[in-house]
Chain A
Amino acid sequence: MQRRDFLIRSLALGCSAAASPMLTPVAFAEAPWEGRLVVIILRGAMDGLDAVRPYGDAEFAKLRGKLAGPNVGEADLEGFYGLHPALEPLRPLWNAGSLGFAHAVSTPYRDKRSHFDGQDLLEAGTVGLSGEGARDGWLNRLLQAVPGVSGKTAFALERDQMLLLRGKAPVNTWTPESDLNISPQAQRLIELVHHDDPLFSGAVADAIGIADSLELIDNPMTALEAQQLVRERAKEVGGSKGHLLLASFAAARLREEARIAAFSLNGWDTHRRQEKGIKGALGRLSEVIGTLHQELGPEVWGKTTVLAMTEFGRTARINGTEGTDHGTGSAMVMAGGALRGGQVWSDWPGLAEADLYAGRDLMPTRDVRAHAAWALRGMFGIEQAVLERDVFPGLDMGSDPRLIL
């Protein structure tokens, strides 16, 4: 039985009583491309105006006060934008053309400014939250559009299931901290008792398949030994550097068969004392990109594109608590050796009162999905019609920003 079949079955809840996926090895087909794509969802609404500061706009300093930062000087990007200090460690990548930004972008989501609907729309890649495609992720629909995709092509690194990669195409989800130690007999019995529950049988087969492929399965002989293994693993992964663990794990998979990795970084919802909050969040993003760069190695990094996207931006003005509230337009962070970086792609809307969206937010001048779509077109040669119809239904990609080398 094909792995793909049981993954599809596991999604078609209760509709099938097909044979057991018991002991089916993870099928591996040659990935259809060499390029690597990393998609990072920045949950909580990153303030694009703070990450990439449009100091060249005369209104910026007036709106931002203390958050505008000191004189730009060395933070300058292109004579108009300045890099947030927490992103400075990535300056060498900018200089090498492996870091870039799209500014004043957003999804089609407007007005209600709910994180949760905003993130769902970003991951679904659709125009609205109901109707076609809204329950699938755009990254999964990309995989569906390409023949020859295997379960090892895409890795989602989340404890939770990401909407971004949800859908009919096979995807692995795992966290770097996860582990599974079972004897062969226990494994057979676990598969047996999961067999009749379609939701569980696919997931447990995946768990065993992934743990096996990562050579994680130890065979404890006693309960004490099993406990000991759990404790040792817990010691290994403890600590606050979870984001580095994610980046390392993603890099390790991408060096092998995986071609797509997706995960999330949190901590962007800076309602209060943004200066402190965003410094931490951008610092982690910066370390994640730095780790990917280092651990992928020059050859694979050269074929890699990283897209870091957020659900919406934040208010152009500071609020009453030295933070910002939910807004509209933001920025997308891009990196990778495949990127034609060293530039900020933007049709700058201006920050004067009349230029703001609803008098409060950065006006989005381009759909963030268009940049993602052009990146996919450049990376994998996906046809424009497929991108506009299947991957991002209802998208008009517009002119080519030439993001990819």
Chain B
Amino acid sequence: MFDPVLAEIRFGTGLSPSQKGPADTGEMLDRLTGPDRAADRWPLPKFEADAVPQLREYYQMRRVTKKGGNSPEVEAANKAYKQLKRQVREAGARQIAMQVLRGALTEDGLRERLTWFWNDHFTVVGRGLTGRSYITGFAEEAIRPHLTGRFADMLWAAASHPLMLQYLDQHRSIGPNSNVAKKSGRPYGINENLAREMLELHTLGVNGTYSQADVTALARLLTGMTVVELRFKVDPKYAEPGIQTILGQAYGGPPRDREADLRVFIEDLASHPQTLRHIAWKLAVHFISDTPDPGLVEHISAALIGSGGELLEGYRAMLNHPAAWAAELENVKPPFDFVVSATRALDVHPAMLERMNAKSLDTIFYAPLRLMGQGWMTPLGPDGWPEADSRWVTPQGLAGRIQWAMTAPQALTTRLPDPRVLVETALGVQAPQSLRFAAEAAETDWEGVGIILSSPAFQRR
């Protein structure tokens, strides 16, 4: 059962020489439900609260600069626009530093891991400079506040977030018989993108018992969910009137009640047993093994179903099941998780990352992550990053990890740790004999550090 090293490696962001790990599962859950210290210490901009006002200003200036010419008004706007654009870009580049610091210096690693897990479950890729620069705002608003709450609340927050509505084209999906469509003569209509992914990825899973007819009906029900001035709104003018039958149940009706109807649907979908089973399975795969113990999945699933979708009960069930503490490390850290855990093992000083400029952040994080196969916050599709370990362990992916482990630590620390010490602090009892030998035998400290951090023992969790 509970093991302090596994708690940090498997359910946290890795072992740290300075941060004290939890003493038992009770403490893990206490920290998780306590104050969010990492987010307070290393804040990231929220999308609606912080980004929207700046983005409005940005778009406003762009409208002026697009007019062209060289009137004093345009020239002043040009200058201000360029300055703001630089600010937006710098803010965007800094996101990764804050995210890495949270993981590297937290005492509540489970919270970071769950944030990344759910962020990936509800994948959103930012579009354009502004979308990319504020992409972490999605998790700050839609994921992190709901980590230990009801799945229905997280589902609603994610599905109604402006970045999600834009990513899956929902903000342009308009009921063909809606008021807007009838008044304008233009051909308006449905876009199925969000409806399909909501059923396939966010809830029931691709093996769920839904059909194309359910997707189409849901797409009609979702009309009205849109983005106005970068904020979420349910606008009845765009909503397709009428009853929609989804998964055998009738939803909807007159457009004026659309928000309430949508909330009823989201409640039903979020507490659907297929949804909760799908989530239980995903948690077990993500945290424990690509082929998880069926008893473990069943245990998590029963807790989620029994509590009506209380996520905390799902985590508690996972942590209280013996299969969660199997000694063998089966999963492989994805590149970002690897980089964070290495930064944690190096006990990086926060100022090192807080002060790093955009160019260095690119050399040390963004570019290497792309080579390792995980460009920051840019998975190929709404299904997010792969879970299968074999997908990460490729020749080019390992070459990327080795290159990073050999070079980045030098830039992240003022003085590299002694490899013989690092092997203990980074892996503890999990350090194999061959790695201890290699730590002694390396010709230089930077190679020793590189060999330890790129070793399979450090990649697994």
- Using a CB–CB cutoff of 8 Å, the interface residues on chain A facing chain B are 43-44, 65, 111-117, 158-161, 166, 172-175, 177-183, 185-186, 189-190, 192-197, 199-200, 203-204, 206-207, 209-211, 222-224, 226-227, 230-231, 234, 266, 269, 271-272, 318-321, 323, 325-326, 358
Contacts and interface: CB of A to CB of B under 8 A. Distances in A.
Contacts of B434: 192-193, 195-196
Contacts, number: 190
Given A178-B400, A192-B434, A272-B172, 12 more contacts: A115-B381, A159-B394, A160-B386, A161-B391, A177-B371, A179-B371, A197-B460, A203-B395, A210-B395, A319-B192, A320-B189, A326-B192
User: What 6 A-B pairs come out closest when comparing CB atoms?
Assistant: A320-B189, A197-B456, A207-B395, A159-B373, A223-B446, A206-B395
Contact of B447 (A178, A185, A196): A185
Contacts of B395: 172-174, 178, 203-204, 206-207, 209-210
B394 A161 contact: yes
27 contacts: A111-B212, A113-B215, A117-B206, A161-B391, A177-B370, A177-B371, A182-B406, A185-B441, A186-B443, A186-B450, A189-B438, A189-B441, A192-B438, A193-B432, A196-B434, A197-B456, A200-B398, A207-B395, A226-B406, A227-B411, A230-B368, A230-B407, A234-B367, A271-B169, A320-B176, A320-B188, A325-B191
A26 to B, nearest CB: 11
A143 B243 CA distance: 54
A197 to B, nearest CB: 4
Contacts of A196: 432, 434, 456
A189 B407 contact: no
B450 to A, nearest CB: 7
Nearest to A224: B410
Contact of A159 (B192, B367, B396, B406): B396
Nearest to B404: A230
B340 to A, nearest CB: 19
A271 B438 contact: no
Contacts of B192: 271, 319, 325-326
Contacts of A200: 393, 398, 456, 459
Contact of B169 (A112, A210, A272): A272
Contacts of B370: 159, 177
B211 A111 contact: yes
B190 interface: yes
Interface in B282-313: none
Given A113-B196, A159-B373, A65 B187 contact: yes
A207 B454 contact: no
A288 to B, nearest CB: 17
Interface residues of B, number: 67
Interface string B360-391: 00010001101111000000110100100111
B130 interface: no
Contacts of A179: 371, 399, 403
Interface string B177-213: 0000000000111111100100010000010000110
Helix, strand, loop or mixed for chain B's interface?
Answer: helix
A160 B391 contact: yes
A116 B402 contact: no
A200 B411 CA distance: 27
B399 A199 contact: no
B437 interface: yes
A115 B383 contact: yes
A269 B381 contact: yes
A269 B197 CA distance: 13
B326 to A, nearest CB: 14
Contacts of A189: 438, 441-442, 447, 451
Contacts of B397: 159, 203
Contact of A272 (B191, B390, B411, B442): B191
A167 B106 CA distance: 41
Contacts of A44: 381
A113 B176 CA distance: 23
Interface-central residue, B193, B372, B442, by most chain A CB under 10 Å:
B193
Given A223-B407, A271-B193, A199 B393 contact: yes
B444 interface: yes
A194 B455 contact: yes
Contacts of B411: 227
A199 B460 CA distance: 11
Given A199-B393, A325-B192, A112 B212 contact: yes
Contacts of A320: 172-174, 176, 187-191
A321 B446 contact: no
Interface string B407-429: 10011000000000000000000
Contacts of A210: 395
A207 B447 contact: no
A189 B403 CA distance: 15
A181 B30 CA distance: 45
Given A117-B206, A200-B459, A223-B407, A321 B169 contact: yes
Interface-central residue, B176, B373, B402, by most chain A CB under 10 Å:
B402
Contacts of A319: 189-192
B371 A326 contact: no
B442 A186 contact: yes
B457 interface: yes
